[in-house]
Amino acid sequence: MAKILVIDDEHAILETLEMFFNESGHQVFTADTGQRGFTLFCQHTPDVVILDIRLPDENGLDLLSRIQARALLSKVIMITAFQDMETTIQAMKRGAYDYVHKPLDADVVEKTVNRALRVLEADRSVPGPGDVVASKKPEAIVGRSDQMRNIFKMIGLLCQNRAAVLIQGETGTGKELIAREIHKNSQFLKKPFVTVDCSAVVGSLLESELFGHEKGAFTGATNIQKGKIELAGNGTLFLDEIGELPLSLQGNFLGFLQRQKYMRVGGQQQLQSRCRIIAATNRDLFAMVNGGQFRQDLFFRLRVVTIQVPPLSARLNDIPDLVNHFLQKINQQLSTDVSKLQDGVMNRLQAHTWTGNIRELENVLVEAVVRARGSVILLDEIEDILSVNIPGPETGPATYSLPHMEKKHIQSTLDQLGWNRTEAARRLQISLPTLRSKIRKYGIQPADSTSST
């Protein structure tokens, strides 16, 4: 028999969970306020606390912190009707065992409590204290599918340590965003976040890119150059497309991971760095190891913690949230106001294959916003866009980039207004100097030689 404390301001939930767990043989205590709940917690030291985030007298996350400060082994399961990334990460950072959503599913709650009790039993069998884990933004990670909730939880768990992380997933799934969230939610968030795209640097120059070089180390090395490892300092070094790291360089990088020491190219002095390593790849590193293209020891060194990012096709139910998020972002960046979808658009988006994943979805929405003639995205416009063989991110990324779409939007507006820049600036909701600057930046030209000022 376990002791379970339920803290929620909905009396129906209190009564239901009390009856449900009493029938299972557990002792149940209930409270409808944070203060009452904390008093019961201190009196009875429950095994499991089921805690609502929204309480009438206190934020559940703050109460979670108070409970965790007691340094007890009680497992706290957060519940809420609000499903977003920030609260999930905060709950996990503050030491929540798990996070479930309303409306509550009895089977899910029971399984979560039973798992918590099994973990608690294991915790108590080991001497010493248990481990405590310590507004929508334009680049937020969006999703409420089980896969994404698990990723949010993992981000929260990774925030209090420097464990190496390997993020695997197809191109366009948001691997760098996950890496940045791990960094931004860590205690090292004020330290640098430095990115190296291993596929974008010529192999012969990548060693210098990573480790830096001394003056005279090679032809053209006229000055000392700090490498990305040195620039990362005590922050995070994000290695994108780690599978492209040349085999000849993998040994040197492995040596750095093992000793946290390195030398600049052409140097004699050992330097030290405690930067966290987060690597990402869209390739099958295990297959590369078997094929002799990637060192096995480096592979295991990198994958201390692995995050597998699902393709968009595996989480189609996240598309409505993603669409809402991207429309807000696009409207802000393009100074547009397209926020509505014609009936059938969402179903059509959820029926698409999305081989380019989230990046493709964003690009399609950018095109749809630019083509919109009002505040509504029409189904036939989406059909037209999706019927085009959109180039993949590696074969034509600029075609549907935001800068390209902005250029098209400005060009179209100017052409419609006979190149009346003053009226165009008003329509675009930007200043006339800004419009002129963008015309120069994008090299926009009128169809003929006559234009108004």
Long-range CB contact pairs, 396-400, < 8 A, 24+: 400/363, 400/364, 400/366, 400/367
Neighbours of 295 (CB within 10 A): 18
pLDDT confidence tier of residue 402, bands split at 50, 70 and 90? low
Residue that the structure tokens 């007298």 belong to: 57
C-alpha distances out from residue 188 to 158, 192, 233, 434, Å: 12, 8, 10, 37
Tell me: pLDDT of 176 over 90: yes
Closest C-alpha among 155, 149, 157, 153 to residue 167: 155
pLDDT confidence tier of residue 322, bands split at 50, 70 and 90? very high
Share of the chain above pLDDT 90, in %: 53
pLDDT tens digit sequence for 252-304? 999 999 999 998 888 888 899 999 999 999 999 999 999 999 999 999 999 99
Q: Which residue has the higher pLDDT, 96 or 390?
A: 96
Q: Are 45 and 12 in contact (CB under 8 A)?
A: no
Tally the residues of the chain. 453
DSSP 188: T
Tell me: pLDDT of 221 over 90: no
Query: Looking at residue 453, what is its pLDDT?
Result: 52
Transcribe 217-264 into DSSP letters: SSTT--S-EE-HHHHHTTSEEEEETGGGS-HHHHHHHHHHHHHSEE--
Q: Are 421 and 385 in contact (CB under 8 A)?
A: no
pLDDT confidence tier of residue 113, bands split at 50, 70 and 90? very high
Topology alike, domains 3-124 and 146-308: yes
Per-residue tokens: 197: 């795209």
Q: Which CATH class is domain 406-442?
A: mainly alpha
Return the sign of the alpha-carbon dihedral for residues 349, 351, 357, 360: negative
DSSP helix/strand/coil, 152: helix
Q: Across all residues in the chain, what is the average pLDDT?
A: 86
Q: Which residues have CB under 8 Å from 270's CB, separation 6+?
A: 261, 262, 263
Q: Which residue has the higher pLDDT, 380 or 122?
A: 380
CATH number, domain 146-308: 3.40.50.300
Angle at 2 between CA 157 and CA 91, to 5 degrees: 20
Q: Which residue type, as a one-letter code, is found at position 288?
A: M
pLDDT tens digit sequence for 425-450? 878 777 777 788 788 777 888 766 44
Tell me: pLDDT of 82 over 80: no
pLDDT tens digit sequence for 334-370? 988 888 888 889 999 999 999 999 999 999 999 999 8
Query: Looking at residue 179, what is its pLDDT?
Result: 96
Q: Are 49 and 41 in contact (CB under 8 A)?
A: yes
Q: Are 322 and 136 in contact (CB under 8 A)?
A: no
Closest C-alpha among 89, 105, 103, 117 to residue 27: 117
Average pLDDT in the 188-198 region? 93
In the chain, where the domains are located: 3-124, 146-308, 315-400, 406-442
CATH architecture group of domain 315-400: Orthogonal Bundle (1.10)
Among 53-62, 159-168, 199-208, the range scoring the smallest mean pLDDT is 199-208
Burial of residue 178 (CB within 10 Å: 0-12, 13-18, 19+) is: buried
Closest C-alpha among 370, 386, 387, 379 to residue 343: 379
Query: Looking at residue 398, what is its pLDDT?
Result: 42
**Candidate CATH numbers 3.40.50.2300, 3.40.50.10790, 1.10.10.60, 3.10.20.740; the one for domain 3-124:** 3.40.50.2300
Q: Are 261 and 271 in contact (CB under 8 A)?
A: yes
203's enclosing H/E stretch is helix 203-211
pLDDT confidence tier of residue 134, bands split at 50, 70 and 90? very low
Residue ranges of the alpha helices (H) in 269-419? Answer: 285-290, 296-302, 319-334, 345-351, 357-371, 379-387, 402-416
